[in-house]
Amino acid sequence: MAFRFQKSDRLLTSFEFQRVYESGMHAADDTLVVIVSPNSLAISRLGLAVSRKAGNAVMRN
């Protein structure tokens, strides 16, 4: 069983991620950083960025 977000529910481009990084509010602890930024859409969207510290691409995916 696969749990996936639809394409319309995800941040996809580097521009979208950069906009959130620059204008969003940050909250963090030892293992997780959450960055939120309001948008003008009727839905919330999600983007995940996993650090290379978590392992190589196979491990991260």
Condensed to tens digits (0 to 9), the pLDDT of residues 12-40 reads 999 999 999 999 999 998 888 899 999 99
Triad 8, 14, 19: Cα angle to 5°: 85
Residues contacting residue 15 through CB under 8 Å, at least 6 positions apart: none
Question: What's residue 37's pLDDT?
Answer: 93
CA 7, 24, 16, 42 dihedral sign is positive
Going through the chain in order, the beta strands assigned E by DSSP cover 25-28, 33-36
Q: Say if residues 53 and 21 touch (Cβ distance below 8 Å).
A: no
